[in-house]
Structure 1
Amino acid sequence: MDWDDLRIFLGVARSESLSGAGRRLAMDASTVGRRIARLEAAVGAVLFVKTPQGYRLTAEGERLLPAAEAAELAAVAAAEAVGREAGITGQLRIGAPDGCANYLLPQVARDLCAAHPGLEVQIVALPRVVNLTRREADMAIAVSPPETGRLVVQRLSDYRLHLAAHEDYLARHGEVRRDDLRRHRVIGYIPDMIFDRELDYLSETGVETAAISSNSVSVQMQAIRAGAGIGIVHDFAIPFAPGVRRVLANQISLKRSFWLVRHADDRNSRRLTLLSEAVAALLRAEVQRLESLAAADAAA
């Protein structure tokens, strides 16, 4: 039994599909299937059962999983030892909600790759919590600290949000007053697709429903930028939306936090520890830089 077979086994166990494992491992699904069949022949046991929900581990597969994960950790440690003097290389996959993924992580990835030319950064933007147990990412950024799972959690940075609208909308509809918000077209989240209580912004404004809604922060911002209405936006996103202005900033101001989350099994990985420290420092600096630009624009 070689490490490459175990690597493919872990890919199927975490993605619960041959095609999903193939995408992550850069091979076609039929090859993944043949390699799993070869591994099952080598161990003399069926490791997966195909269900309507995907490929699930059998009891024999569950017994193999800890050994495969231990082999993975050993392989990572060996790669770190070999590459320590040459800078950090390989792949880093970061999962994040789409506001962070769109407006902050591209700059973080730019600076990481500049510092470590051999590093490949993947940004996974998901409208839900990233599942580190299934290894959807190497680390995740969350808007509230997870309460379950074998995870290591680190507070990253506070950030602020305000009501905002495009200057064209404001020119058409006049002054915005808090006691008159209901007469405005409000933009926000689809209520039953809010995956974290920290994203329930509108409840803090007194407005109960949104006329235009999306599960994506970026779509909401584009609607606001198009002059479609008023919505809660991240201050760090405002510099990317010319013409969008904060409104009622002295009356409605929200504060939230980003958290960096890693799987507990990775706490001894020097490579991931160094990368998590770099991500944390770069993200804090970028939040501060963009919020400063938004504040300067509001004061102008």
Structure 2
Amino acid sequence: MDWDDLRIFLGVARGGSLAEAAKGLRLDPATLSRRIARLEVGAGTALFLKSPRGYALTGAGHRLLPHAEGMEARARAGVAALSGDDRLRGRIRIGAPDGIANHVLPAVLCAMRAAHPELGLDLVALPRVFDLGRREADLAITVSAPRAGRLRVRRLCDYRLSLAAHRDYLAASSPISTRADLKDHAIVGYIPDMIFDADLDYLGEVGAGPPGLASNSAAVQLGLIRAGGGVGVVHDFMLATAPDLRRVLPDDLHLTRAFHLSRHTDAGGPLIDRAAELLADGVRAEVARLETLSHPAQEQALRES
């Protein structure tokens, strides 16, 4: 396969249809159809499943995709090296749980775009594990380190969590002096059968009972706690933006977890490599900044309450 064939392949894979790919490639759909058919004959296998809804990659197409993207990235890096321009160009999809996606990644990704205006960034914020083998994302942030699949995994940073509740809820409820007191309180947490990562099963660790109010989303849980729904576990990096919350049993309960960054072993090249470094550095710095802010904010709120 030559680069022009792979350029056609990438255009159709990203566009999802001949009509969409034709816009970027500046070729008519009939020409693209012939080129794809010729490419599949040369490869000896079907690369796309064709249907009235468009073109979807087959298993062979998914296997070819990272190699084609690698050639594209290397070609762009060569042009950049000749011109002395080290700005990143291309598009990267990042998958992340909704907690970090809502409270940490906006600042990180905006900074990356400011430094590299031609870098497109897609943030998929879903409370589940991403399938990197099927290219649901180029980079994925997880809590537990994935162990299955052909993945490259690196530890990003630790982060802290606290038990917290709204100040009005605590003022109207019985005191919480020990973990045993939690049995008399409303609990907010994850829907038990929708916990997608064992490291997110906090309530047993803190000694709380089953949640009366539950969600599969960390951001929704924060909203429920802020609305006075009860006591729940909150990321410390969220507390900086929630001055109405109070830590519960702060001297007794200290939860720590870690974020990990994963990518498929075939997802390489200068673009992904550099983007992964920028993302890792940005996440570490932003988590540290927000956690530092959360403690003084809470202490000031306590003094004023």
TM-score by length of 2: 0.82
Q: CA deviation at 1:195?
A: 0.6
Deviations 1:112-161 (A, max 9, x none): 12222222222110111122112122211110111011111111100111
Aligned-partner Cα distance in 1 for 2:158–2:235: 11
Which residue number corresponds to residue 192 of structure 1? 193
Q: Quick check: 1:8–1:36 contact (8 Å CA) kept in 2?
A: no
Aligned residues: 285
- The 1:294/1:67 distance shift into structure 2, 3 A limit, reads closer
Q: CA deviation at 1:263?
A: 1.7
Pairing of 1:136-285 with structure 2 (within 5 A) = 136-177=136-177, 178-267=179-268, 269-285=269-285
Please tell me the residue identity of whatever aligns with 1:151: L
Q: Secondary structure at the match of 1:149?
A: coil
Which residue number corresponds to residue 79 of structure 2? 82
Deviations 1:178-213 (A, max 9, x none): 211121110000011111100101111222310000
Aligned-partner Cα distance in 2 for 1:218–1:200: 16
Q: CA deviation at 1:35?
A: 8.2
- The 1:35/1:103 distance shift into structure 2, 3 A limit, reads farther
Aligned-partner Cα distance in 1 for 2:96–2:152: 16
Which residue number corresponds to residue 106 of structure 2? 106
TM-score by length of 1: 0.83
Q: Secondary structure at the match of 1:3?
A: helix
Please tell me the residue identity of whatever aligns with 2:279: V
Please tell me the residue identity of whatever aligns with 1:196: D
Aligned-partner Cα distance in 2 for 1:135–1:66: 10
Which residue number corresponds to residue 73 of structure 1? 70
Please tell me the residue identity of whatever aligns with 2:240: P
Aligned-partner Cα distance in 2 for 1:281–1:67: 30
In the alignment, is residue 5 of structure 1 matched against residue 2 of structure 2? Answer: no
- Identity of counterpart residues, as a percentage? 45
- The 1:89/1:290 distance shift into structure 2, 3 A limit, reads same
Q: Secondary structure at the match of 1:133?
A: helix
Aligned-partner Cα distance in 1 for 2:193–2:289: 33
Q: CA deviation at 1:37?
A: 5.1
Q: CA deviation at 1:246?
A: 0.9
Aligned-partner Cα distance in 2 for 1:76–1:66: 17
Q: Quick check: 2:167–2:246 contact (8 Å CA) kept in 1?
A: yes
Q: Quick check: 1:10–1:65 contact (8 Å CA) kept in 2?
A: no
Q: Secondary structure at the match of 1:82?
A: helix
Structure 1's unaligned 5+ residue stretches are 13-17
Please tell me the residue identity of whatever aligns with 1:139: L
Q: Quick check: 1:40–1:46 contact (8 Å CA) kept in 2?
A: no
- The 1:26/1:223 distance shift into structure 2, 3 A limit, reads farther
Deviation above 6 Å: which 4+ runs of structure 1? 33-36, 54-58
Aligned-partner Cα distance in 1 for 2:57–2:219: 37
Aligned-partner Cα distance in 2 for 1:179–1:101: 33
- The 1:81/1:224 distance shift into structure 2, 3 A limit, reads same
**Bigger mean CA deviation after superposition, 78-87 or 176-185:** 78-87
Please tell me the residue identity of whatever aligns with 2:212: A
Q: Secondary structure at the match of 1:175?
A: coil
Aligned-partner Cα distance in 2 for 1:157–1:26: 42
Q: CA deviation at 1:50?
A: 7.4
Aligned-partner Cα distance in 2 for 1:299–1:240: 14
- The 1:233/1:40 distance shift into structure 2, 3 A limit, reads same
Aligned-partner Cα distance in 2 for 1:168–1:34: 65
Aligned-partner Cα distance in 2 for 1:288–1:297: 14
